[in-house]
């Protein structure tokens, strides 16, 4: 099974119909384990119980960048390989990524209030994630503004690839500038600085959130394919009505085309 | 090379003649700056503190509004198709068009800055700092805005959608432009660090902008 095989939407629908229940079940189980473990995780000696916001905040923030990465690869698929499902993947991922980014910003500001004494601070990490959120919204606006999906897909692909420049800026903003946001502590040179009792629940939650994204993404892609089919059926119906009202002879001809 | 020079000369000439509208950007810049004292009150101390930010915002909006037409007019009269099909690489042609646009619409903004600085009670050093940062930063605005202009012409949509797409990309330029001018005026940071980052942003957009705009034109026009 390669990516080329999935270029057939019907085959993609059949495969995902079989995959989705398993993915959903795995997501629910891992989320339950992750939430249970993070509830049992000890309080931080400085932050107290608020450290538990981390188990939601960090996976959301990772996913906000991961989803843009997925969209960038899908955009390459649209522009370079002209894969027919690539623009469906890019379009379906945008609202999900925007939600993850919004949740990362929201949980971050709820965590920042007791820890930093402010809901919002214009530091490099926060500002660059906010830019990412605005770009998600702009991309969604672009998808909605154009009625021809293939035309919108190519424009959105160019914009997505330009926006991908933001990803390394977000990742390394805490190293390049002295900011209020803490530097990287899990994915860094020389191993994690996080204690095991925090690290294991965090990784479980990260995997659970990734699975959640995959599940939601595949479901959204299915919906998008079905939406496009409904749209083209409606167009066919409309053209048939237009033909049949024009005259009996054209009407019978278009009926044959419709039957074929 | 001669083709690119001819393209630049043509674009500047069109922009400066009747119907070109390059100098409307300066007028818009002036109007935005004059509006500010009405919004925040005619407090000279406050205005001189906000001055660099106001000038930068005005220049950002002025260059964004004039960019709308970068490819649109050429698309309407068919010359964009000729440019796309010519033997000059489309990326270079896009870069030449953006350069011409910056010369015609961006440079006048910088020339107008000292006059507007007087209105905002900025002293010599502050005005010079803002003009210098604008000189280094406005190419980045033009070249990133060109991506939006390319999308606008392929989608037959301009205006608000383009602003929504391009403004997030210009946030870093705004941050470091204002930071460099503030550093020159009040400190405590050195002027050099944010100014070098601003120059770096301009250079990066000089590379990325033409490629992205050419890609969107090539895939979008049919």
- Interfacial residues of B (vs A; Cβ cutoff 8 Å): 147, 150-151, 154-155, 157, 161, 164-165, 167-169, 171-172, 175, 204, 208, 212, 215-216, 219-220
User: Which of A2, A22, A17, A28 lies closest to A212, judged by CA?
Assistant: A28
A68 to chain B, closest Cα gap in Å: 15
Mean pLDDT of A16-40: 90
pLDDT digits (tens, 9 = 90+) for B144-182: 989 888 888 888 776 788 888 888 888 888 888 888 888
* Full DSSP string of A37-93: HHHHSPPBTTTBGGGGGHHHHHHHHHHHHHHHHHHHHHHHIIIII--TTHHHHHHHH
Contact between B63 and B56 (Cβ < 8 Å) = no
Mean pLDDT of B67-80: 84
Listed in sequence order, the residues at least 6 apart from A45 whose beta carbon sits closer than 8 Å to its beta carbon are none
Residue A259 reports pLDDT greater than 50: no
- Is B216's CB within 8 Å of A154's CB? yes
- Is A158's CB within 8 Å of B175's CB? no
Mean pLDDT of B16-22: 74
pLDDT-derived band at B120, boundaries 50, 70, 90: confident
A57 to chain B, closest Cα gap in Å: 23
Mean pLDDT of A78-82: 86
Instruction: Identify all chain B residues contacting A152, using CB atoms and an 8 Å cutoff.
Output: 155
User: Which of A232, A219, A70 lies closest to A150, judged by CA?
Assistant: A232
In sequence order, what are the beta bridge partners of A44?
A48
Q: What is the DSSP letter of A165?
A: T
Cα(A71)–Cα(A86) distance, integer angstroms: 9
Q: Which of A137, A141, A162 sits opposite B212 (nearest CB)?
A: A162
Residue A67 reports pLDDT greater than 90: yes
Mean pLDDT of A166-187: 73
Q: What is the DSSP letter of A23?
A: H
Cα(B95)–Cα(A145) distance, integer angstroms: 27
ipTM attached to this prediction: 0.79
Cα(B170)–Cα(A184) distance, integer angstroms: 26
Contact between B158 and B72 (Cβ < 8 Å) = yes
Q: Write the secondary structure of chain B as one string of H (helix), E (strand) and C (coil).
A: CHHHHHHHHHHHHHHHCCCCCCCHHHHHHHHHHHHHHHHHCCCHHHHHHHHHHHHHHHHHHHHHHHHCCCCHHHHHHCHHHHHHHCCCCHHHHHHHHHHHHHHHHHHHHHHHHHHHHHHCCCCHHHHHHHHHHHHHHHHHHHHHHHHHHHHHHHHCCCCHHHHHHHHHHHHHHHHHHHHHHHHHHCCCCCCHHHHHHHHHHHHHHHHHHHHHHHHHHHHHCC
To the nearest 10 degrees (0 to 180), the angle between helices B90-101 and B124-155 is: 140
pLDDT digits (tens, 9 = 90+) for A128-143: 889 899 999 999 988 8
Q: Which of A3-12, A60-69, A107-116, A147-156 has the lowest mean pLDDT?
A: A3-12
Q: Does A241 touch chain B (CB under 8 A)?
A: no
pLDDT of residue B155: 80
Lookup: tokens for B179: 């930071």
Contact between B55 and B134 (Cβ < 8 Å) = yes
Cα(A147)–Cα(A76) distance, integer angstroms: 22
Q: Which of A22-26, A101-105, A185-189, B43-47 has the lowest mean pLDDT?
A: A185-189
Cis peptide before B55 (omega within 30 of 0): no
Say whether A14 sits in a helix, a strand or coil: helix
Cα(B36)–Cα(B54) distance, integer angstroms: 7
pLDDT-derived band at A191, boundaries 50, 70, 90: low
B164 to chain A, closest Cα gap in Å: 6
Place of tokens 């990326």: B91
């Amino acid at each position: 099974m390669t990516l080329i095989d999935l270029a057939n939407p019907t085959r993609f629908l059949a495969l995902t119909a079989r995959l989705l229940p398993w993915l959903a079940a795995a997501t629910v189980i891992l989320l339950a384990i992750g939430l249970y473990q993070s509830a049992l995780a000890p309080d931080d000696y400085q932050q107290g119980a608020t450290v538990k916001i981390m188990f939601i905040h960090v996976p959301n923030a990772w996913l906000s960048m991961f989803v843009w990465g997925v969209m960038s690869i899908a955009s390459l698929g649209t522009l370079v390989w002209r894969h027919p499902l690539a623009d469906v993947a890019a379009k379906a991922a945008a609202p999900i990524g925007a939600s993850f980014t919004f949740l990362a910003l929201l949980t971050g500001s709820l965590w920042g209030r007791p820890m930093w004494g402010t809901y919002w601070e214009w530091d490099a990490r926060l500002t660059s994630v906010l830019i990412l959120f605005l770009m998600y919204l702009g991309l969604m606006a672009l998808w909605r503004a154009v009625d021809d999906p293939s035309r919108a897909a190519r424009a959105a692909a160019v914009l997505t690839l330009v926006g991908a420049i933001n990803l390394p800026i977000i990742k390394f903003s805490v190293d390049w500038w002295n900011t209020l946001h803490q530097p990287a502590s899990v994915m860094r040179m020389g191993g994690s600085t996080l204690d095991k009792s925090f690290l294991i629940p965090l990784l479980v939650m990260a995997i659970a959130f990734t699975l959640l994204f995959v599940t939601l993404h595949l479901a959204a892609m299915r919906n998008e394919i079905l939406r496009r089919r409904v749209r083209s059926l409606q167009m066919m119906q409309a053209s048939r009505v237009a033909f049949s009202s024009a005259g009996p002879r054209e009407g019978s001809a278009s009926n044959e085309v419709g039957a074929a | 090379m001669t083709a690119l020079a001819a393209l630049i000369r043509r674009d500047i000439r069109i922009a400066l003649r009747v119907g070109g509208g390059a100098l409307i950007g300066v007028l818009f810049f002036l109007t935005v700056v004059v509006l500010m004292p009405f919004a925040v009150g005619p407090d000279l101390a406050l205005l001189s503190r906000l001055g660099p930010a106001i000038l930068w915002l005005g220049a950002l909006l002025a260059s964004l509004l004039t960019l709308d037409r970068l490819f649109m007019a050429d698309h309407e009269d068919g010359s964009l198709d000729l440019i796309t099909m010519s033997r000059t690489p489309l990326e270079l042609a896009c870069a030449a068009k953006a350069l011409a646009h910056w010369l015609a619409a961006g440079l006048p903004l910088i020339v107008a800055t000292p006059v507007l600085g007087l209105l905002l009670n900025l002293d010599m050093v502050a005005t010079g700092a803002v003009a210098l940062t604008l000189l280094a930063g406005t190419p980045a605005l033009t070249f990133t805005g060109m991506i939006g202009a390319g999308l606008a012409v392929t989608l037959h949509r301009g205006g608000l959608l383009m602003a929504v797409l391009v403004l997030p990309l210009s946030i870093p330029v705004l941050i470091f432009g204002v930071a460099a001018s503030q550093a020159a005026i009040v400190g405590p940071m050195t002027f050099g660090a944010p100014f070098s980052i601003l120059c770096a942003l301009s250079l990066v957009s000089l590379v990325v902008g033409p490629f992205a705009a050419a890609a969107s034109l090539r895939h979008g026009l049919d």
